[in-house]
A and B are shown apart, each in its own frame.
Chain A
Amino acid sequence: GAVVSQHPSRVICKSGTSVKIECRSLDFQATTMFWYRQFPKQSLMLMATSNEGSKATYEQGVEKDKFLINHASLTLSTLTVTSAHPEDSSFYICSADGRGGMNTEAFFGQGTRLTVV
């Protein structure tokens, strides 16, 4: 099956700094990538939908200036958590599909556990 690689898998950063998380599709072109956040023992909450070459579509309540998403190529999307605070600590997962969401499974990255101290 298709492979999505997410990096880093774990990061600890100081409050006020920014952290960049990368999501790459390794063997297919991902026209659409999704970024999720997952709190302990909760489900995946969609943060934003990233389309190659255009601005991301953010879900209600997600601060676009805080969670910067860039989808510069068909194989790479990045999520930058700017001026991170302890409440941003969470598990972030990306997923990608190669056909613009048309009846295809979503392939997930390994996830990034962010801890802000």
Chain B
Amino acid sequence: EDKVVQSPLSLVVHEGDTVTLNCSYEVTNFRSLLWYKQEKKAPTFLFMLTSSGIEKKSGRLSSILDKKELFSILNITATQTGDSAVYLCAVLGGYKYIFGTGTRLKVLA
């Protein structure tokens, strides 16, 4: 059975800290791995990763994929209170997206 597991489930940090969120997967017909940020409503897209070892970066956020070890990490440096959200990892396998449990991040001022 396909599965996507994220860790930690929740995390509380202070502004300025750096956090690393993990996503491991076992999905047949892997095509890509995606990271989303969900605040109150619909998830917003952060990154899509298809190749191992190539870091994707957007401001203070970066992500990398390891297709051999079947995991990805999402790094957030110099965290801000606006980074507080649930971060979802999804894997596109075959024709559908399988979502992880999410990591709930809370950044304290």
Name A's B-contacting residues (CB within 8 A).
Answer: 1, 6, 9, 32, 34, 36, 41-46, 49, 93, 95, 100-111
Q: Is the interface of B mostly helix, strand, loop or mixed?
A: strand
Interface hits, B33-72 → A, CB 8 Å:
34, 36, 41-45, 48, 50
Name B's A-contacting residues (CB within 8 A).
Answer: 31-32, 34, 36, 41-45, 48, 50, 88, 90, 92, 94-102, 104
* A42, A95, A103: the one within 8 Å of B32 (CB): A103
Beta-carbon contact of A43 and B100 below 8 Å? yes
Q: List residues of chain B with CB within 8 A of the CB of A34.
A: 96-97
CA of A102 to CA of B95, assembled, Å: 8
Beta-carbon contact of A102 and B42 below 8 Å? no
Q: List residues of chain B with CB within 8 A of the CB of A104.
A: 48
Beta-carbon contact of B96 and A43 below 8 Å? no
CA of A113 to CA of B56, assembled, Å: 33
Taking A103-B48, A108-B36 as given, write out 18 further A-B residue pairs in contact, using a Cβ cutoff of 8 Å, ordered by the A residue number.
Answer: A1-B45, A6-B42, A32-B95, A34-B96, A36-B99, A42-B101, A43-B100, A44-B88, A46-B99, A49-B95, A93-B42, A95-B97, A106-B90, A106-B92, A107-B45, A108-B43, A110-B42, A111-B42
Given A49-B95, A100-B95, the answer on whether A43 and B41 have CB atoms closer than 8 Å is no
Q: Which 10 A-B pairs have the closest CB atoms?
A: A108-B42, A44-B99, A101-B95, A43-B99, A43-B102, A111-B41, A43-B101, A111-B42, A105-B45, A110-B42
